[in-house]
Structure 1
Amino acid sequence: MILGILQARTSSSRLPNKVLKELLGEPMLARQIERLQQSKLLDKLLVATSDQSEDRAIAELCEKLNIPCFCGPLDDVLLRFYLAAQPYSPTHVVRLTGDCPLADPMVIDELIALHLSGKFDYSSNCGNPSYPDGLDAEIMSGSTLATLQEKAATQTEREHVTYYVRCHSEQFSIGELQRSPSLAHLRWTVDEPADFELVERIYQALYPANPTFTTDDILALLAQQPELTTLNTRHKRNEGLANSLAKENHI
């Protein structure tokens, strides 16, 4: 079984409650789930949120959408992932994050296919990024997830789930999904108000006529309206990870 786990919380410091922010009449998280359900290779999708009271709204949304939801530790996200996966005994786990409402199911399926064909321990399209920030996806074997749960010790390794793989790459066989030409300069994730403005403009332009719009459709829109790409250029990729490392080193 290939299990997709979508991590989501409401306590974002930069854009609180962003996953529940209304996007064309539905919570942003619901829009992302709608896209992820188009994947042909994911056998099951569940949401992993925290057990804090402020995240109860996420669990209620999942119940409404008939999507399984696991509530676990807020900061030990790795433990949350590990516990969420246990009832399903998955052979592979796909890690997804709830700030990516433009997630592309075709890219996810390409990553899964690459991972399975190469029999890798871990694969991603974000180790050496060539896709837009916001199309990130990772997949690991069930045994790799168990290894991470056993060995990851630092606060950053526990919070950022697969950071241990990056720090100890020699311990794993790793697959990388690459795109040419690179689109790594594009920012399609939602961490700031300007990010949401861009995503909302994209949805307004594409979703009504084509709810299953693809990455190529977005690129065509940006080519027609290049001013959209300037809306959210102030922020760097993986700022959350950088902040975690800075905090850990300071401690």
Structure 2
Amino acid sequence: MKTVAVIQARYTSTRLPGKVLMNLAGKPVLTHIIDRLRAVEAIDEICLSIPDGDAQQPLLDFAATVDGLTVSSGPDEDLIRRFANAVEETGADTVVRAWADCPAVNPTSTAALIAAFHNENVAYAEIPNDSGYPEGFEVHVLSAATIRTVDAGATDPFDREAIIPFLTRYPKRFSCLRLNRSPSRNDIKLLLDTPEDYEKLKKIFDVLYPKNPLFGLTEIEGLGDEFLKNLETA
């Protein structure tokens, strides 16, 4: 059984163009994500999933410098097709869906979600953005069969732009497991979406990355509430 982490990425961004290749602690954002996913023992391969088109050339150039990184592409407005292409091209049995704007994606919680997915035999499992984990720890785990079924069944363009909306519409057909955390630290924002997010993440990575490149929630909380609060009000 082959488990492939598929990172959905695009170079173009309305609020922060080129954000996925911006520098954090001396490395591109995508490099941090790849390193963190490679630290998950259950993941066999990593695939960068990008839209078709010349605008994504910087991502192709980046991928050419990363040993063992697979690249798959598909229609810009059809995320489901892009993931189905990644499944077909990598031979994945299980897909770990990750985002290119989550540079602090957590290996420990990701590994726990993969294990829970297999133990519970569900159609998909998720750490959603309201799970109690920091925003930026989100991942989904789906079977290749689920992705193929969604690809065949989703006809609404709205559904094609995502994956989860189609699944949640049919809860009896697609069983789901959520990994939650209590007490919640959803107040900690680790997403890269705006220039302000980038400045906050730079400060976190500059402090924590030299001590532990795979720093997690314990290290982030160790910065102290005042440090984290100042990031949000800066």
1:121 aligned to 107, 123, 138, which one?
Answer: 123
Q: CA deviation at 1:128?
A: 4.8
* AA of the residue aligned to 2:139: A
Q: Partner residue of 1:36? A: 37
Q: Partner residue of 2:140? A: 138
1:220–1:90 CA distance, 2 compared to 1 (3 A): same
Alignment of 1:133-212 (within 5 A): 133-212=135-214
For 2:190 and 2:50, locate their aligned partners in 1 and report how far apart those are by CA, in whole Å. 22
Stretch of structure 1 that moved more, 33-42 or 104-113: 33-42
1:231–1:34 CA distance, 2 compared to 1 (3 A): farther
For 2:199 and 2:162, locate their aligned partners in 1 and report how far apart those are by CA, in whole Å. 26
For 1:87 and 1:51, locate their aligned partners in 2 and report how far apart those are by CA, in whole Å. 15
1:1-21 CA distance string (max 9 Å, x none): 111100100111111111011
1:39-64 CA distance string (max 9 Å, x none): 11111111111221111111111110
Q: Partner residue of 1:83? A: 85
Q: Partner residue of 1:18? A: 19
1:127–1:19 CA distance, 2 compared to 1 (3 A): closer
Q: Give SS of 1:34's match.
A: helix
TM-score normalised according to structure 1 size: 0.87
Q: Give SS of 1:171's match.
A: coil
Contact kept? 1:157, 1:163, Cα under 8 Å: yes
For 1:207 and 1:128, locate their aligned partners in 2 and report how far apart those are by CA, in whole Å. 26
1:216 aligned to 196, 215, 218, which one?
Answer: 218
1:83–1:184 CA distance, 2 compared to 1 (3 A): same
Identity %: 28
1:12–1:210 CA distance, 2 compared to 1 (3 A): same
Contact kept? 1:198, 1:231, Cα under 8 Å: no
For 1:125 and 1:204, locate their aligned partners in 2 and report how far apart those are by CA, in whole Å. 26
Q: Partner residue of 2:111? A: 109
Q: Partner residue of 1:98? A: 100
1:27–1:181 CA distance, 2 compared to 1 (3 A): same
Q: Partner residue of 1:237? A: none
Where in structure 1 are there 5+ consecutive unaligned residues?
Answer: 233-251
Q: CA deviation at 1:88?
A: 2.8
For 1:140 and 1:82, locate their aligned partners in 2 and report how far apart those are by CA, in whole Å. 11
Q: Partner residue of 2:59? A: 58
Contact kept? 1:186, 1:229, Cα under 8 Å: no
* AA of the residue aligned to 1:190: L
Q: CA deviation at 1:105?
A: 0.8
Q: CA deviation at 1:227?
A: 3.0
